[in-house]
Amino acid sequence: MTVDEKYHHNLTGNYTVHTYIKTKDGSTIGYNLGQYAFNNTQSTTSVTATYKGTGVYGVTISGVYSNGSVKYAVWSDVNGQDDIKWYDASVSQAVATGLINVANHSGTGTYHLHATSLIMGKCTCLVKRNLP
């Protein structure tokens, strides 16, 4: 049996694995297969930004294996996070999408994007990226 960490939100920790078998007579038997440690050392999530025109960028965050909402914070490099704005992403089939309008920010040049997801009641960082 193979278990892929991405379907468990890439969260490091100990996981208990159970399997259930339905017998010919219709009863179910459960087996505890023990605990296994997931030690996630790298994220499978990536982000791309595409210029759409008139100061608007499209954002695509791939590898989002979560049923939780996805939000991303964006701010310009100029003056730190004085112009930080949070955006909501739409999520479908492990891909989150959204837009950034530079008119919402005071600086120019490099922008920073941090995407997060609400997973099991905790805000979990999905990816951090600098945008040109």
- Other C-beta atoms lying within 10 Å of the C-beta of residue 37: 8
Q: Which domains does the chain have, with CATH numbers?
A: 5-38 (no CATH), 46-131 (2.60.40.10)
What CA–CA distance (Å, rounded) separates 25 from 2? 28
Which residue, among 30, 62, 65, has the nearest Cα to 47 in the 3D structure?
62
Q: Which of 1-15, 37-51, 79-93 has the lowest mean pLDDT?
A: 1-15
Residue percentage of the chain with pLDDT more than 90: 33
Residue-level pLDDT at 64: 82
Whether the full predicted model's pTM is greater than 0.75, yes or no, is no
The angle at the Cα of 72, spanning 71 to 77, to the nearest 5 degrees, equals 160
Task: Report the first-to-last Cα separation within the chain, whole angstroms.
Answer: 43
Q: Render pLDDT for 78-114 as a digit per residue (tens, 0 to 9).
A: 888 999 999 999 988 889 999 999 999 998 888 999 9
pLDDT exceeds cutoff 70 at 131: yes
